[in-house]
Amino acid sequence: MNSLIFSTISRLLVGLMLLFSVFLLWRGHNEPGGGFIGGLVAAAGIIVYGLAEGPGMMRKLLRIAPQTLVLIGLLTSVVSGLLPLLQDSSFLTGMWLFIGATETEKGLGLGTPLIFDIGVYLVVVGGVSGMVIALEEEL
């Protein structure tokens, strides 16, 4: 699509949407959000950019081939599930690291569910944008 207005706005939008997607991913453990929604928002941002600039630019924005992104995401999630096995717990058991925890404060919780969600995020981003790229390149 050759529209100066759309292409200018899309650059603004894609940044905002990617930022928002990371925010959604981050808050997902305790509040609505998570890897799947975050990934969809990110993919929507990338698609907006792709509609304005064409599928070639979309590939450039992603840097990695979408299929590879999906599989890297899958591996990330699998690894997050395997980590607890080192501790002799079951596959996918949540392991938590509380940064700056005191007697009263819980601190900042970092855990394997976040890594799992990052994996889901990558799968969704790669999957959805990969489908759209394939469709756009066909047309």
Interaction of residue 92 with other proteins, rule CB under 8 A: yes
Q: Which of 91, 96, 97, 98 binds other proteins (CB under 8 A)?
A: 91
* One character per residue 27-66, x = contact with other proteins (rule: CB under 8 A): ----------------------------------------
Q: Which of 31, 88, 103, 105 binds other proteins (CB under 8 A)?
A: 88
Place of tokens 């944008």: 129
Interaction of residue 72 with other proteins, rule CB under 8 A: yes
Interaction of residue 95 with other proteins, rule CB under 8 A: no
| Residue 59 CB burial class (10 angstroms; 0-12, 13-18, ≥19) | middle
User: How would you write the chain as a 3-class SS string?
Assistant: CCCHHHHHHHHHHHHHHHHHHHHHHHHCCCCCCCHHHHHHHHHHHHHHHHHHHCHHHHHHHHCCCHHHHHHHHHHHHHHHHHHHHHCCCCCCCCCEEEECCCCCCCCEEEEHHHHHHHHHHHHHHHHHHHHHHHHHHHC
Closer Cβ to other proteins, 9 or 64, answer by number: 64
CB of 23: closest distance to other proteins in angstroms? 26
Interaction of residue 85 with other proteins, rule CB under 8 A: yes
CB of 33: closest distance to other proteins in angstroms? 20
Q: What is the contact surface with other proteins in residues (CB under 8 A)?
A: 67-68, 71-72, 74-75, 78, 81-82, 85, 88-94
